[in-house]
């Protein structure tokens, strides 16, 4: 087995040789993020090349088994890779709900055939997923969902409506919670189904937001079909799988929210707030950025500690709620500081520059972090009850 020191050297050399220079620049806007999928249009040849090279090594999902498209790396090797990517400011080659959420659930609950069918395309960025959890009347109280699936031979016939399905209008497949056991207790009557979006009976409708853009959609099922072979776990096991997936969703929201996108230092450079000696001219802004940076480093260290404990069999469990809440608060602070650093330029909504409006839209979008993946109130209740064991909580 290669030593970690040798692995680091080999990784550093490979990244230097294979990461295009344009992929070592800070993300400026949504267009710089690669989501993949059947209908994906790459923003540049370098974006496509970077994804292909990383996927070929399995490094879009470094710890997944190689037979399922992963890199087969140990946790320590994956951390080294993450550090070396960060050292050259490399962009993520692929952002994917398939990687953050569905992949871990399939690895734990899926059959070998399901893993072979779905995981390698996820790793290569060939299939884009959305999440079908929330419904009108079933948001934080997910167990009240009413979308039904009726067994009919080799498939379920699905009818109902989902809401807040991020990027549903651009996704290839949806992983959805569907009530399939009508007479079972409500927690036990839900199944976890994988449904092809490209079929009659599946329609989407974007929801316009205050940011002017619309990542969220309503999704309607009218006699849509979901093959039984694409049900993950047993019939009625969906609630258990959903809870496991939610812990990964919250970790994914945290990671993207706390460390992704424009940061206040880059924003200050853009607005000319940084002097020749590298010092920000506004002392209040300088202090706020320093505090955010320190809090971000402390949060990153906490995430790493929780992850290491999880790797030793303790699981993330309810601590995902703690991380999600703190990541949400950090992201809101980061976006507010971005706006402060940009000054009046941050108010631009539309203009000649490609990134015009992105800081303001990102700031508005960050307000949704307090709701998605479980509201801050729900997560604080979980922390009080299951992490701190507070009396009366």
Instruction: Look at residue 61 and give its three-state secondary structure.
Output: coil
Residue with the two structure tokens 């080799």? 154
Q: What span, in angstroms and rounded, lies between the C-alpha atoms of 366 and 345?
A: 19
DSSP track, 319-382? HHHHHHHHHHHHHHHHHHHHHHHHGGGGG--S-SSTTTTHHHHHHHHHGGGGTTTS-HHHHHHH
Cβ atoms of residues 204 and 218 within 8 Å: yes
Q: What span, in angstroms and rounded, lies between the C-alpha atoms of 341 and 334?
A: 10
Residue with the two structure tokens 């189904």? 193
86-112 CB burial, b ≥16 within 10 A, e <16: eeeebbbbbbbbbbbbbbbbbbebbee
Q: What span, in angstroms and rounded, lies between the C-alpha atoms of 85 and 66?
A: 20
Residues acting as catalytic residues: 249
Cβ atoms of residues 115 and 140 within 8 Å: no
């Amino acid at each position: 087995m290669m030593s970690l020191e040798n692995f680091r050297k080999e990784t550093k050399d490979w990244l230097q040789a294979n990461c295009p220079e344009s992929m070592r620049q800070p993300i400026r806007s949504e267009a710089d993020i690669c989501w993949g999928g059947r209908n994906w249009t790459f923003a540049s040849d370098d974006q496509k090349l970077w994804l292909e090279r990383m996927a070929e090594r399995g490094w879009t999902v470094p710890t997944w088994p190689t037979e399922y498209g992963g890199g087969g790396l140990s946790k320590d090797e994956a951390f080294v890779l993450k550090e070396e990517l960060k050292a050259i400011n490399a962009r993520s080659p692929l952002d994917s709900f398939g990687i953050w959420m569905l992949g871990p659930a399939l690895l734990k609950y899926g059959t070998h055939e399901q893993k072979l069918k779905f995981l390698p395309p996820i790793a290569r960025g060939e299939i884009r997923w959305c999440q079908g959890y929330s419904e009108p009347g079933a948001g934080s109280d997910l167990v009240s969902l009413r979308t039904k699936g009726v067994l009919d031979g080799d498939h379920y016939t699905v009818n109902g409506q989902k809401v807040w399905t991020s990027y549903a209008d651009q996704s290839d497949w949806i992983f959805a919670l569907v009530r399939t056991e009508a007479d079972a207790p409500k927690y036990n009557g839900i199944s976890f189904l994988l449904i092809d979006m490209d079929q009659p009976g599946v329609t989407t409708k974007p929801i316009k937001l205050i940011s002017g853009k619309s990542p969220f959609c309503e999704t309607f099922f009218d006699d849509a079909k979901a093959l039984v072979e694409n049900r993950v776990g047993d019939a009625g096991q969906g609630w258990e799988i959903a809870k496991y997936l939610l812990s990964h969703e919250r970790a994914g929201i945290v990671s993207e929210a706390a460390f992704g996108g424009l940061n206040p230092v880059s924003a200050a450079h853009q607005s000319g707030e940084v002097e020749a000696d590298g010092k920000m001219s506004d002392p209040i802004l300088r202090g706020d950025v320093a505090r955010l940076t320190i809090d971000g480093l402390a949060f990153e260290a906490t995430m790493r500690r929780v992850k290491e404990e999880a790797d030793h069999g303790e699981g993330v469990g309810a601590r995902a709620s703690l991380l999600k809440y703190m990541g949400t608060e950090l992201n809101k602070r980061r976006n507010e500081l971005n706006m402060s650093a940009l000054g009046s330029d941050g108010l631009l909504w539309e203009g000649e520059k490609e990134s015009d409006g992105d800081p303001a839209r990102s700031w508005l979008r960050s307000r949704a972090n307090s709701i998605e993946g479980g509201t801050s109130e729900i997560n604080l209740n979980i922390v009080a009850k299951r992490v701190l064991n507070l009396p009366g909580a």
